[in-house]
Amino acid sequence: MTTTAVDQRRRLLTQIPGPRSRALQARKLASVSAGVGTALPVYIERAGGGVLVDVDGNHLIDFGSGIAVTTVGNSAPRVVEGVRQQVADFTHTCFMVTPYEEYVAVCEKLAELTPGTHEKRSALFNSGSEAVENAVKIARAFTGRSALVAFDHAYHGRTNLTMALTAKNMPYKQGFGPFVSEVYRMPMAYPYRWPGDPERVAQEAFEALAAQVHAQVGEQNVAAVIIEPIQGEGGFIVPPPGWLPRVADWCRQHGILLVADEIQTGFCRTGEWFACDHESVVPDLITTAKGIAGGLPLAAVTGRADVMDAVHAGGLGGTYGGNPVACAAALGAIETMEVENLRGRAREIEALMTPRLRTLAEKFSVIGDVRGRGAMLAVELVTAGGDRTPDAALAAAVNKHCHSEGLVTLTAGTHGNVLRFLPPLDISDDLLHEGLDILEGAFLSSV
């Protein structure tokens, strides 16, 4: 396990947020757009392992990883070393002008680690949204088709094209239209809200997709089906086994490209390198970001060489895409995942947390569902009536209570009624248990 300078213990010295954070928040409100919200206005000074240290000296337990980004931990030693060296050597040339090895090395790693043994190519970008946009450009150029299929509860980003792919109106889309055309939304195989045994749900949801695309769009017009193999912002929805392979087969039959958006699920988060690996699904294109570079902004599209090479030279790129410092960080993060077997660590975290969350669900009937894979786990909260009505107010109350006790948790879900847990993979078992104790206390005082 990584050793870090940050003391791996929760410690609360002030109210959360403390006086210094409150002073900074006042400056924020006077200088930063109100459109940029903050879930927990605690200003961070240092972080490492499973702990965030704020400007008032409080040590908070991190169950968020900055939204699944610091999978290898904050300031992971190999990331810091790689960045330090690179930033001293050179910070930018623009890969499209005079290239450098680090970019190529990241693409080689992506070819090696992403699903499938076929020949692959990659292109690097700055953000997840940008990767999804480029996957669409590539899919359209290769297929000569324009229609895109996305799913209920999907999240693919906040740029104009990716807002159209994203399902949830508030806060992501409200007031920001018009959106691009040729995006078709299909039902998601959502076990908790699609009654029946998992095998039947997989079949029914697949049939609904195939029938609706046939009737409403025409398979021959579809460039790509874009899917998060486990949905992230939508509430950590894990489709039943068999659904994704069916979708992949159907795409292949119709010359539709399968784009797996693994921006949140990728890089060991779910206990495999990629969530598609759990069902041996090989997508045509895969988008990655978040966990790839230990906190530095980097994103990628990786896919079949024939598809990726179908774009004319100069058709893909951007000034900063694959910045050398971000690439050095990615190489450090990926090496950390390999050397420290972080896939195994994600599975250990699942084995530690899931039984405790299930015990909690037995105690509190408002926890309707416990789900997720690896270190990507969630509980869905519903009202007590037994009819599975989403309870966003309860999720907000539990979340707030956790924050006040120094545990950083996040909400998710189309209805805002999901609490999600994304600890960094170098967090200690003790901190995981302590975080779960706090969560239990939050339910005791909120229900």
What residues line the site for ligand PLP (CB under 6 A)?
A: 127-129, 132, 155-157, 228, 232, 261, 263-264, 289
Q: Are 79 and 327 in contact (CB under 8 A)?
A: no
Q: Which amino acid is at 399?
A: N
Which amino acid type is present at position 362?
A: E
Nearer to ligand PLP, 233 or 369 (CB): 233
For the chain, how many residues are written? Answer: 447
Cβ proximity to ligand PLP, 148 vs 382, nearer residue: 148
Identify the H or E element spanning 120: strand 120-125
CB of 157 to ligand PLP, least distance (A): 4
Q: How far is the CB of 29 from ligand PLP (least distance, A)?
A: 23
What torsion, rounded to 10 degrees, do the Cα atoms 189, 191, 195, 198 define? 90
Tell the smallest beta-carbon distance from residue 127 to ligand PLP (Å).
4
Q: At closest approach, how far in Å is the CB of 215 from ligand PLP?
A: 28
Q: Tell the residue number behind the tokens 């995006």, with chain if given.
A: 183
* Close Cβ partners of 377 (under 8 Å, ≥ 6 residues apart): 236, 350, 353, 354, 357, 370, 371, 420, 421
Q: Phi and psi for 336 in degrees, rounded to 5?
A: -60, -45
- The rounded distance, in Å, linking the Cα atoms of 21 and 423 is 23
What would the two tokens of residue 192 be?
A: 């908790």
State how far the Cα of 364 lies from the Cα of 352, in Å rounded to an integer. 19
Looking from the CA of 187 toward its CB, the CA atoms found within 13 Å total 18
Q: Considering the complex, what minimum distance in angstroms separates the CB of residue 93 from ligand PLP?
A: 23
Taking the complex as a whole, how short is the minimal distance between the CB of residue 261 and ligand PLP, in angstroms? 5
Using the minimum distance from each CB to ligand PLP, give the nearer residue, 21 or 265: 265
Q: Which is nearer to ligand PLP, 289 or 334 (CB)?
A: 289
Q: Provide, rounded to whole angstroms, the least separation between the CB of residue 434 and ligand PLP.
A: 27
Of 237 and 366, which has the nearer Cβ to ligand PLP?
A: 237
Q: How far is the CB of 437 from ligand PLP (least distance, A)?
A: 28
Which residue type does 164 have?
A
For ligand PLP, the closer CB: 132 or 432? 132
339: CB partners within 8 A, 6+ apart: none
Sheet holding 418-421, edge to edge: 367-373, 376-381, 418-421, 410-412
CB nearer to ligand PLP: pick between 130 and 426: 130
Q: Which is nearer to ligand PLP, 10 or 278 (CB)?
A: 278
**Residue closest to ligand PLP (Cβ):** 128
- φ, ψ of residue 364 to 5 degrees: the values are -120, 110
Residue 265 C-beta: closest distance to ligand PLP, Å: 7
Rounded to the nearest whole angstrom, what is the least distance from the CB of residue 385 to ligand PLP in the complex? 32
Q: Which is nearer to ligand PLP, 190 or 364 (CB)?
A: 190
Closer residue to ligand PLP, CB minimum distance, 263 or 395: 263
Helix or strand or coil: residue 175? coil
Provide, rounded to whole angstroms, the least separation between the CB of residue 269 and ligand PLP: 10
- C-alpha dihedral (169, 174, 178, 182), degrees to nearest 10: -10
Rounded CA gap, 274 and 260, in Å?
A: 10
Q: How many CB atoms lie within 10 A of CB 375?
A: 29
Taking the alpha carbons at both ends of the chain, their separation in whole angstroms is 37
Q: Which is nearer to ligand PLP, 40 or 292 (CB)?
A: 292
Using alpha carbons, select from 444, 380, 442, 382 the residue that is nearest to residue 411: 380
Cα 120 to chain centroid, rounded: 23
